[in-house]
A and B are shown apart, each in its own frame.
Chain A
Amino acid sequence: MSSWRTKVLPPLLAIVFALLLSAIALIISGADPLTAYGTMVGQLFKGSTAVDTVNLATVYYLAGLAVAIGFQMNLFNIGVEGQYRFAAVTAAIAGGALDLPPVIHTVVILLVALVAGAAYAAIPAILKVTRGVSEVISTIMLNSIVGGIVAFLINPDMFGVLTGNNLATKPIAPSGHVPGIPLGSATLFGFVVIAALIGVGYWFMLNRTRFGFELKASGESPTAAAAGGVNAKKMALVAMLVSGAVAGLIAMPELLGRDYNYGITSTQMYGFTGIAVALLGRNHPGGIALGALLWAFLDKSAVSLEQIHVSKEIATIMQGIIVLSVVVAYEVVRRADLAAEQRRVGRALAGNGRKGSSVAEGGAV
């Protein structure tokens, strides 16, 4: 099995490496790296930054999980972005239009979001399975289409409401909200709990269910999976739909915990961040959580850099370097570890009666 080294060492190395490289970028831009890093960490304890970081990390976590489900079988669902925005606008419209008792109202909105996300992911999934269209291409195009769909649906002629200058869906009644947890001056999204439960569910699915095994097997070796009776087309279809369904929840923490409507100013790009977070977390539910927290921290504390006259884009540079280093570091450590494992097995079996000198019987390689 992979040792603690394979799991912990690569991200640590990558973060240290990223800090060093970013320091160079900071020095070039004329700032003192230590002051800059100190300011960023210090910002975490000011005002509501810590709670904001966790709130944003909740969103990133869901995005990371959605992407990771596809990654497990080498499906590159770039369309998480489109799927979550489609689900968000659909769920916001449904939530605003419905009048239901508390809890039930929330559950219905979440179900609508799940189904809408899966439905939008069904398009690339069906195209891939029936026509062999690459999911990368089709989801990128669907991402671009979703902007038009959102604009169309929140038009006042359709379901939109014009409030001041802002065009958005009809607000969801309090019965549909997910109550927050007040912490000091800020409020923690109640959705944090739901996201954690989804993370546990993802772990269980991956490690304890037949579906999870078939998903991993298809990703590791499509040929071995096929010989083992895994239906590749069915897996691609189901993985894409599940990925889309989870993507459908990405906007829910903000929709049901803060904004209560979805409009043209609602934040975008969470789906793309999810790709980076899933890469950082190596598709592991715990890793994705750490990746999401790190990413959210960099996003939230970057604003503090402007106080010391450092461009906050330095945080973006750091994020980029971290992802690249993590990918490289994992691969390096993985190879070293496999070689070490082979040597270890060889040593453990040395003198165990294996003759190396006998002629290979039909030994082809």
Chain B
Amino acid sequence: MSTSESPAEAAPDRGVPAVELTGITKRFPGVVANSDVNLTVARGEVHALCGENGAGKSTLMKILYGMQQPDEGSIAINGEPVKLRNPQDAIKAGIGMVHQHFMLADNLTVGENVFLGAENLHGIGRAARARLAKLAERTGLRAAPDTLLEELGVADRQRVEIVKVLYRGAKIIILDEPTAVLVPQEVDALFDTVRAMQAEDYTFLFISHKLDEVRAIADTVTVIRRGTTVGTADPKTITSRQLAEMMVGSELPSPETRESTVTDRDVLRLKDIRLSVEGSERNILDDISLTVHAGEVLGIAGVEGNGQTELVETIMGMRKATGGTIELVEHDGVAHDLTKLGTLARREAGIGYIAEDRTRHSLLLTQPLWTNRILGYQSRKPVSNGQLLDIAAVREDTRRIVEEYDVRTPGIDVPAAALSGGNQQKLIVGRELSGEPVLLVASHPTRGVDVGAQALIWEQIRQARADGLAVVLVSADLDELIGLSDTIRVMLRGRLVSSADPATVTPQELGSAMTGAGAEESEKDTDAEGGATE
């Protein structure tokens, strides 16, 4: 573990770096999550790791915490190369992680939570309690060790998590989106603690996509984008705008897609949609009104957790709106009220659905591809004649999708789980564009798929749009949003706060609108993102 006792001021480039990741690459079947990532964290600094959702931050941190092993690259802690096979190895190397979702037992006391699993360090008696008291003071945890955890607020729980990793001897602490659950005053208090501990030679890795917070706390910031590190900067000198540019990239897809196919025929009309959950004062969706026309792609931009998932599920009928109406307009202009209908009836009315998490919502993983063709279409031709399935037709149509959408598979009898993510997604896109939908609801349609599949999926969506399909597109990939959309609406805390014209907007401007950077209202909304579900 580290040696020198000299209090570290915010000055990088001194001595041996606390953490040095070199050339880290991590592949999952069909996906490269991290590609040649280099990260150097000096001792005693607060190092922010910035990037969009899905950029590869969490995979990188899981590698550093030993939860996953890199395929290539090396890790050095305090100058010594280490192999981190599991979190125990990481803890031994002095690394601790405070997860975004706390790993605490509600029915145990503060002390028990801290000692649990670390009994062999100081036992559970007086020595342990003395150590706990010292760490509690250091982190500003005021709750008595005998308090039950369920009686603590979110900020105190977070402190218990920090104490937990300190108790295990961590000198390098990973804070995974620590402010997502805190109100602004709590954020300030957390930052005070971090600064005080920094003075005691602790090193912090701070993961966030909130630019203003990064600028407030970090000594150094490294930006990660599409699985790789794009650069390191000093937050004191860089502007928010430059940082946003690094995060979302500045190359735009070719503008040839820009010729408008938008018609003035309404397809989907949402009016004053509200969604509330019990136990939360803030609505997850607040007075959402929008109209999508035939041939139009309506892009919804937003930082994850601002209600996009819930909006999509409300349109699909998987959640029941608390208020408002949803209408689907038929070709002849007759409005079809969907508000009270279930998911199947909405699908039958002509909505295709590409879900955000394909393994949870779009596929039956152990079933063969042709069985997956049935899902969502079990009541319609060619899949079924009412109550009876037409297996031959299903198999035939699955072969057509495999062919037309270039699904790379040895056959239609392999289980869906055996395909790579990109090929799974191509199958889903093919299925959801079958049956002549009038509206496609696409949530992160190219998340976690390889470049080839992404291009194909984009092309299919463009083609369907040219044929008059209306599309609601939710994506965290701003290039995708700007490249595909005809109209962009920005969603923040359950509301559609602004619009943008994809022909003129830059990713930077969009990024600022999404993160609320510059928009002071987000500071005042004390509820943070706590009410949003996963």
Query: Cβ of A226 and Cβ of B32 under 8 Å apart?
Result: no
Query: Is B28 on the interface with A (CB-CB < 8 A)?
Result: yes
**Interface 9-mer from B107-115, B142-150, B339-347:** B339-347
Tell me how far the C-beta of A72 lies from the nearest C-beta in chain B, rounded to whole angstroms: 13
CA distance A341 to B376 in the complex (A): 26
**Interface 9-mer from A45-53, A74-82, A99-107, A357-365:** A357-365
**Chain B residue nearest to A1 in the complex (CB):** B413
Query: Is A141 on the interface with B (CB-CB < 8 A)?
Result: no
Query: Cβ of B35 and Cβ of A360 under 8 Å apart?
Result: yes
Number of interface residues of A (CB under 8 A): 44
Chain A positions within 8 Å of B23 at CB level: none
Query: Cβ of B378 and Cβ of A228 under 8 Å apart?
Result: yes
Chain A positions within 8 Å of B450 at CB level: 354-355, 358, 360-361, 363
Query: Cβ of B360 and Cβ of A221 under 8 Å apart?
Result: yes
Tell me how far the C-beta of A347 lies from the nearest C-beta in chain B, rounded to whole angstroms: 9
Tell me how far the C-beta of B484 lies from the nearest C-beta in chain A, rounded to whole angstroms: 14
Query: Is A338 on the interface with B (CB-CB < 8 A)?
Result: yes
**Chain B residue nearest to A234 in the complex (CB):** B342
Contact with A along B400-440 (1 / 0, CB 8 A): 00000000111001110111100000000000000000000
**Chain A residue nearest to B357 in the complex (CB):** A223
Contact with A along B355-367 (1 / 0, CB 8 A): 1000011111111
Query: Is A352 on the interface with B (CB-CB < 8 A)?
Result: yes
Query: Is B10 on the interface with A (CB-CB < 8 A)?
Result: no
> With A338-B418, A360-B33, A360-B56 in contact, do A227 and B374 touch (Cβ < 8 Å)?
no
Chain A positions within 8 Å of B417 at CB level: 338, 341-342
Query: Cβ of A227 and Cβ of B355 under 8 Å apart?
Result: yes
Query: Cβ of B376 and Cβ of A229 under 8 Å apart?
Result: yes
Tell me how far the C-beta of B227 lies from the nearest C-beta in chain A, rounded to whole angstroms: 5
CA distance A273 to B54 in the complex (A): 49
> With A1-B413, A338-B417 in contact, do A364 and B368 touch (Cβ < 8 Å)?
no
Query: Cβ of B27 and Cβ of A231 under 8 Å apart?
Result: no
Q: Which of A210, A226, A346, A364 contacts B448 (CB 8 A)?
A: A364
> With A217-B364, A361-B450, A363-B448 in contact, do A229 and B32 touch (Cβ < 8 Å)?
no
**Chain A residue nearest to B318 in the complex (CB):** A226
Chain B positions within 8 Å of A354 at CB level: 30, 408, 420, 450, 452
Tell me how far the C-beta of B316 lies from the nearest C-beta in chain A, rounded to whole angstroms: 7
Query: Is B512 on the interface with A (CB-CB < 8 A)?
Result: no
CA distance A29 to B476 in the complex (A): 68
Contact with A along B222-255 (1 / 0, CB 8 A): 0000111000000000000000000000000000
CA distance A358 to B344 in the complex (A): 38
Query: Cβ of B414 and Cβ of A362 under 8 Å apart?
Result: no
Query: Cβ of A341 and Cβ of B389 under 8 Å apart?
Result: no
Chain A positions within 8 Å of B29 at CB level: 342, 346
The listed residue with most A CB atoms (<10 A of its CB), out of B343, B363, B375, B452, is B375
Tell me how far the C-beta of B116 lies from the nearest C-beta in chain A, rounded to whole angstroms: 29
Chain A positions within 8 Å of B30 at CB level: 354
Query: Cβ of B27 and Cβ of A361 under 8 Å apart?
Result: no
Query: Is B53 on the interface with A (CB-CB < 8 A)?
Result: yes
- Size range of the chain B interface in the assembly: 35 or more
CA distance A214 to B374 in the complex (A): 10
> With A229-B343, A360-B33, A362-B476 in contact, do A224 and B375 touch (Cβ < 8 Å)?
yes
The listed residue with most B CB atoms (<10 A of its CB), out of A207, A225, A228, A358, is A228
Q: Which of A1, A216, A359, A363 contacts B414 (CB 8 A)?
A: A1
CA distance A229 to B355 in the complex (A): 13
Query: Is A272 on the interface with B (CB-CB < 8 A)?
Result: no
> With A344-B418, A364-B447 in contact, do A221 and B31 touch (Cβ < 8 Å)?
no
| In the complex, chain B residues 63-114 whose Cβ is within 8 Å of any chain A Cβ | none
Query: Cβ of A345 and Cβ of B389 under 8 Å apart?
Result: no
Query: Cβ of B365 and Cβ of A364 under 8 Å apart?
Result: no
CA distance A225 to B360 in the complex (A): 9
Chain B positions within 8 Å of A362 at CB level: 52, 54-55, 226, 446-448, 476-477, 480
Query: Cβ of B32 and Cβ of A360 under 8 Å apart?
Result: yes
Chain B positions within 8 Å of A211 at CB level: 387
Chain B positions within 8 Å of A223 at CB level: 360-361
**Chain B residue nearest to A227 in the complex (CB):** B361
Query: Cβ of A221 and Cβ of B364 under 8 Å apart?
Result: yes
CA distance A227 to B443 in the complex (A): 13
Chain B positions within 8 Å of A5 at CB level: none
The listed residue with most B CB atoms (<10 A of its CB), out of A1, A213, A224, A353, is A224
Query: Is B499 on the interface with A (CB-CB < 8 A)?
Result: no
Contact with A along B374-388 (1 / 0, CB 8 A): 111011000010111
Query: Is A356 on the interface with B (CB-CB < 8 A)?
Result: yes
> With A210-B388, A361-B226 in contact, do A352 and B32 touch (Cβ < 8 Å)?
no
Query: Cβ of B55 and Cβ of A210 under 8 Å apart?
Result: no
Tell me how far the C-beta of A225 lies from the nearest C-beta in chain B, rounded to whole angstroms: 8
CA distance A231 to B361 in the complex (A): 14
Query: Is A209 on the interface with B (CB-CB < 8 A)?
Result: yes
**Chain B residue nearest to A343 in the complex (CB):** B418
Query: Cβ of B378 and Cβ of A214 under 8 Å apart?
Result: yes
CA distance A349 to B419 in the complex (A): 10
Q: Which of A228, A230, A338, A342 contacts B366 (CB 8 A)?
A: A338
Q: Which of B33, B316, B367, B418 contacts A345 (CB 8 A)?
A: B418
Query: Is A131 on the interface with B (CB-CB < 8 A)?
Result: no
Query: Is A331 on the interface with B (CB-CB < 8 A)?
Result: no
Query: Cβ of B414 and Cβ of A345 under 8 Å apart?
Result: yes
**Chain A residue nearest to B57 in the complex (CB):** A364
Query: Cβ of B451 and Cβ of A345 under 8 Å apart?
Result: no
Contact with B along A104-118 (1 / 0, CB 8 A): 000000000000000
Query: Is A208 on the interface with B (CB-CB < 8 A)?
Result: yes
> With A210-B388, A221-B364, A359-B227 in contact, do A341 and B415 touch (Cβ < 8 Å)?
yes
CA distance A353 to B456 in the complex (A): 14
Tell me how far the C-beta of A262 lies from the nearest C-beta in chain B, rounded to whole angstroms: 35
Query: Cβ of B448 and Cβ of A360 under 8 Å apart?
Result: yes
Query: Is B202 on the interface with A (CB-CB < 8 A)?
Result: no
Query: Is A306 on the interface with B (CB-CB < 8 A)?
Result: no
Query: Is A259 on the interface with B (CB-CB < 8 A)?
Result: no
Contact with B along A313-347 (1 / 0, CB 8 A): 00000000000000000000000001001101110
Chain A positions within 8 Å of B345 at CB level: 229
Q: Closest 6 A-B residue pairs measured CB to CB? A: A229-B344, A364-B54, A228-B376, A228-B375, A348-B410, A227-B361
Q: Can you pick out 16 interface pairs between chain A and chain B where the beta carbons lie within 8 Å of each other?
A: A214-B378, A228-B343, A228-B344, A228-B347, A229-B347, A231-B342, A354-B408, A354-B420, A354-B452, A355-B451, A357-B35, A358-B450, A360-B448, A362-B448, A363-B31, A364-B59
B interface residue numbers (CB < 8 A to A): 27-33, 35, 52-56, 58-59, 226-228, 316, 318, 342-348, 353, 355, 360-368, 371, 374-376, 378-379, 384, 386-389, 391, 408-410, 413-415, 417-420, 446-452, 454, 476-477, 480
